[in-house]
Amino acid sequence: MTRFDLFVEEALYGQNGFYSKGQRAGSEGADFITSPETSTLFGACIAEYLDRVWHELECPNPFVVIEAGSGPGTLCRDIFLSIQDCSDALRYVMVERSEPQREIAFRDVTTRCFLDQQEVPLAALQDLPAGPFTGVVLANELLDNLPPRVVKKTAKGWLELYVEQGAEAWQPTPPEAQTMASAVAPKAQTGTCLPLQLKAAVWVNRALATLERGRLLTFDYGVQSSEIFTKRPMGEWLRTYRNHQRSGSPYQEPGSRDVTCDVAFDQLPGKPSICTQADWLKNQGLYSMTDWARKQWQTALPSPDAAAVAARSVLDEAAALTDPEGLGGFLVAEWRVGD
């Protein structure tokens, strides 16, 4: 019998784990699609943000940007292609647990952005570096992949989810998890299931500890309050994906599918400012970046040429990144350190 979070940890990151085998986001052969894989506009907006934070921090050199869960390096590449003011000071660290992805990412970013350079301002590591640094830690869709513990309220208190021979097994919950469950969802009714996101909380604390001054910025699907879980069945907030589709039981064929959980931001340390991805991207100037495309498309109507169709696809990408029912509804959390 294995506790649920440890079971998922092995299914995602063990020797034959889903991510250990090199699964990546993207369109071809991928099991999920993320904002960096949807449009280069996402990286362009983050580059705007990094330039602004660099000025706010009084132009430090080096300016260290750590991207955790960097996957195939798409976001890193787009940031290097768009960054302006802080480009000379920028030292970028991709942190990726999967070795195949780390190798792909380092090769791809160096060949696309630094082909003629002997030394690159880029490193690819397996875990967060020690710090402390002045800069920014970024993570897109990392926290949802840090497996939660899962508890259920019963008439006799909370039980905890274990996995035994491909099926759920509910066991007595240790006292510290009972206390946490009651604190995050005090109004939970009997039968309510709840994730306890201790790994995500530990990761946020570690990321904050790498910074002497700067920002931690995360993008993920989730909720601001764990109370929301009490109204939703477990299958809605704990999901599996394979081939872009919702997939079956997380307990069977471990390693064959992604297992992901909505992030409960109230379970994370500190007091980040939180807004939707749609609002965050608008504040970074997404619409002024796409103004040219809007004008080109409107001018070319009613018989658009090839350039106008290309402009239209830029507008479609911006719409996908800000769709309130999809990526635009993700939550962006920003922690400030040292100011």
Ligand X SMILES: C[S@@+](CC[C@H](N)C(=O)[O-])C[C@H]1O[C@@H](n2cnc3c(N)ncnc32)[C@H](O)[C@@H]1O
Minimum gap (Å) between residue 99 Cβ and ligand X: 10
Identity of residue 213: R
The residue among 222 and 230 lying less far from ligand X, judged by its C-beta, is: 222
Minimum gap (Å) between residue 160 Cβ and ligand X: 22
Q: Is 135 in the site for ligand X (CB under 6 A)?
A: no
The residue among 141 and 262 lying less far from ligand X, judged by its C-beta, is: 141
Q: Is 147 in the site for ligand X (CB under 6 A)?
A: no
Query: To 5 degrees, how large is the angle CA 171–CA 175–CA 180?
Result: 100
The tokens of 287 are what?
Answer: 């619409």
Within residues 59-118, the interface with ligand X by CB under 6 A covers: 68-71, 95-98, 101
Pairing of strands 245-246, 222-223: unpaired
Within residues 110-129, the interface with ligand X by CB under 6 A covers: none
211, 137 Cβ separation under 8 angstroms: yes
Query: To 5 degrees, how large is the angle CA 339–CA 132–CA 82?
Result: 75
Within residues 160-199, the interface with ligand X by CB under 6 A covers: none
Within residues 302-321, the interface with ligand X by CB under 6 A covers: none
The tokens of 62 are what?
Answer: 């080096």
Minimum gap (Å) between residue 23 Cβ and ligand X: 8
C-alpha span between 33 and 326 (Å, rounded): 11
Which residue of 5, 31, 37, 317 would you call a contact of ligand X, by CB under 6 A?
Answer: 37
C-alpha span between 290 and 318 (Å, rounded): 8
Q: Is 141 in the site for ligand X (CB under 6 A)?
A: yes
Q: How many residues bind ligand X (CB under 6 A)?
A: 18
Query: What ranges in 126-241 are assigned the alpha helix state H?
Result: 175-184, 198-209, 234-237
**What residues line the site for ligand X (CB under 6 A)?**
19, 25, 34, 36-37, 68-71, 95-98, 101, 140-142, 145
